[in-house]
Chains A and B, each alone.
Chain A
């Protein structure tokens, strides 16, 4: 009874996506497909910048939706839908990262660092070429490669925090809810991440202007 009352009192019921999810919970598959369409590109973008691979990114996005779909019968609107979705995405990204690290430990016991391996070879070449001549005008693709390489220097949590902030425009509070961290922890992660990026991108600062 209390739970029902709490749900009814919840401010999140005004969230249209929560409404869609509640409809999906009752078996409305059209509502669920609307959520898939609404979030597919947003999640693909986040996972792409985590994995550097479109196919892997889409597999992870699909897994997020599968987890949500499986959990729909027990869904309670205790947060914004996007917070819940990105919490699942965060867990999945961490698990995927751990699996990737384990696979690399088996495949490449004395190989290069993971950040270097995760970059597409063409982009790495572009980034290396650009690093030799940082003062010349870089084209957009080169600049993207440089920024991506800088992003790859961040650890998984820092990168996800930056991506959620940059692409989703999420506040520190929303990121902390999604990543199950405290707000000061998010603040610290973003600060460290921005500092690392600043050091990596300093030679290219003028290009972004």
Chain B
């Protein structure tokens, strides 16, 4: 028996595959022979097998009770079509737009009201401008007295320019 035979890296890989039942028949027979001949290999196989047995103590973990529900809900949300009115910001947008509309409507009404009603209240300046030619000649009109007198003067030919000869 070859007690002190050292295993190559390839043989070590094969030992693990052998334990996992993953070696082709021919290679498995070779490993069988190595194990039968070598105490080192035998010890190695036993140690590797026990190592894997120790992994049995690692627990199986259960997902939370609501995991499936949570996941499926998330998937639904992810896939949900985009609905404008369902957006969190939509409410604020509508409120802001409403306020803006009210401001525009009130401003427009105020302007329209002003345009409509400004003729109802006489504008003193406009009256003065309209009457300016009369005001400028007011002294002359006062000197003339009344309109009938002026008309008679006009018919009498006083205002006509003398014809040059």
Task: Enumerate chain A interface residues (CB-CB to B < 8 A).
Answer: 29, 32-33, 36-37, 40-41, 44-45, 48-49, 54, 57-58, 61-62, 65-66, 69-70, 140, 143-144, 147-148, 151, 162, 165-167, 171-172, 187-188, 190-191, 194-195, 197-198, 201-202, 204-205, 207-209
Interface of A, helix, strand, loop or mixed by DSSP = helix
Please indicate the chain A residues that have their CB under 8 angstroms from the CB of B63 in the complex.
40-41, 44, 58, 61
A179 → chain B, closest Cβ, in Å?
Answer: 15
Check A143/B57 contact, CB under 8 A, given A61-B67, A188-B13, A209-B50.
yes
Given contact pairs A61-B67, A66-B78, A198-B48, A144 touches B13 in the complex (Cβ within 8 A): no
Interface residues on chain B, size class: 20 to 34
A-B contact count (CB 8 A): 116
Additional A-B contact list (9), CB under 8 Å, known A36-B68, A191-B17 = A32-B75, A33-B72, A36-B71, A44-B63, A69-B75, A167-B60, A188-B13, A190-B17, A208-B57
Chain B interfacial positions (CB closer than 8 Å to A) = 12-13, 15-17, 20, 22, 47-48, 50-64, 67-68, 70-72, 74-75, 78-79
A41 near B55 with CB under 8 A, answer no
Residues of A within 8 A of B75 (CB): 32, 65-66, 69
Q: Given contacts A148-B58, A191-B12, A198-B48, is CB(A40)–CB(B72) below 8 Å?
A: no
B residues in contact with A194, CB < 8 Å: 16, 48, 51-52
Instruction: From known contacts A187-B17, A194-B16, infer whether A45 and B50 are also in contact, taking CB-CB under 8 Å.
Output: no
Contact A191 B58 (CB under 8 A): no
* 24 cross-chain CB contacts under 8 A: A32-B72, A32-B75, A37-B68, A41-B63, A61-B67, A66-B71, A144-B59, A162-B55, A166-B55, A167-B58, A171-B22, A187-B16, A188-B13, A190-B20, A191-B12, A191-B13, A191-B15, A195-B12, A197-B51, A198-B47, A201-B54, A202-B47, A208-B54, A209-B53
Is the beta-carbon distance between B67 and A205 smaller than 8 angstroms? no
Query: How many Å lie between the Cα of A41 and that of B57 in the bound state?
Result: 17
Whether A187 and B78, one on each chain, are in contact in the complex, defined by CB atoms closer than 8 angstroms, is no
Residues of A within 8 A of B61 (CB): 41, 44-45, 48-49, 54, 57
